[in-house]
Amino acid sequence: MPLPFSGNPLFSSDDLRQDEIELKKLKCRKDALFLPYFKYDPATTESGDFFWIPWSTVQSVASNPDGAIFLGLTEDGSPRFAIDIGDSLEYWNHFTSSGFQGFRSVAAHLADARTAIAAQARSILKWIADHLFCSRCGFSNSVSFGGYRLECTNSTCGALSFPRIDPVVIIMITSRDNRKCLLGRGHNYPEKIISPLAGFMEPGESIEDAIQREVREEVGLPCADIRFWGNQPWPFPSSLMLGCFATAVTDQIQLNHAELAFADWFTRTELEQIFNQSEGDRIFPEAISISYHMMRAWMEG
């Protein structure tokens, strides 16, 4: 089973994205569907699935229909797009009683490859909205390549920008005898949640370098035997979670209180108790996260 937000079934390519005429034709096709977003949350049906609309409706409900981004083609060749409908729901509410639901709760409910399509859309729409101006000269940017490229409109500059991804290492540290794992909680995490240590990678680092730095910074431990476990796109707003296991060289934690609110070792039995109880001092992270799946993978051996 792919992790939530991964396993995107749509196909796209740069050949297609850079063909403006073809993209316009695709938008108007009868089988073309658009996923509307309002403040980066997707439109949903009453049953909690994504609520797709045709081009004719996009023109009625979106403040800028031309801002639709191309997501790709389905297996049978139907085009899929996403559209940010703008800052007002006035036209939307005339058209439908369907609403917009927080993306995390939609993803938790669906938890399959549909979430990957919506994650791709959310990350790109947010990237475009956050990069209205050229970072080199300050002129406005225009959108091209179906949403995957921004071009500075200043002809003497012409800088191009491409969507960025922020890699994050998620580190499941185990003791040398593999009987305990190290879990913690950052200050910005909800109370009670325990999860593997995590941190943004920095320029010039390999995944292993980033893991060694983060673990030393947060709990003062050297670690060894780093193994890649899996990865997951994380559309809040645009990260790539790189899940790895590592073995601690010693058990002695030196908690860095500036970095973490809490960290400690947990046995499999302790994790099982936490997993099986609905109320308690500690809880697992949300089930859509790779952290949750790494903890379960270790717990279940």
Which parts of this chain interact with Zn ion (CB under 5 A)?
Answer: 134, 136-137, 139, 152, 154, 157, 159
CB of 263 to Zn ion, least distance (A): 45
| Closest to Zn ion by CB, 132 or 261 | 132
CB of 134 to Zn ion, least distance (A): 3
Contacts of 272 (CB under 8 A, 6+ apart): 299
| Closest to Zn ion by CB, 96 or 154 | 154
| Closest to Zn ion by CB, 153 or 247 | 153
**Single-letter code of the amino acid located at 244:** C
Instruction: Report d(CA 128, CA 149) in Å as an integer.
Output: 9
Q: Looking at the DSSP assignment, which residues form a beta bridge with residue 263?
A: 184
Which among 273, 221, 230, 277 has a CA at the least distance from the CA of 251?
A: 221
| Closest to Zn ion by CB, 63 or 142 | 142
Contacts of 26 (CB under 8 A, 6+ apart): 32, 70, 79, 81
Which among 172, 200, 202 has a CA at the least distance from the CA of 259?
A: 200
CB of 59 to Zn ion, least distance (A): 31
> What does the DSSP assignment read for 270-285?
HHHHHHH-SSSS-BPP
| Closest to Zn ion by CB, 134 or 223 | 134
CB of 153 to Zn ion, least distance (A): 8
Q: Kindly report the number of other CB atoms within 10 A of residue 55's CB atom.
A: 19
CB of 149 to Zn ion, least distance (A): 14
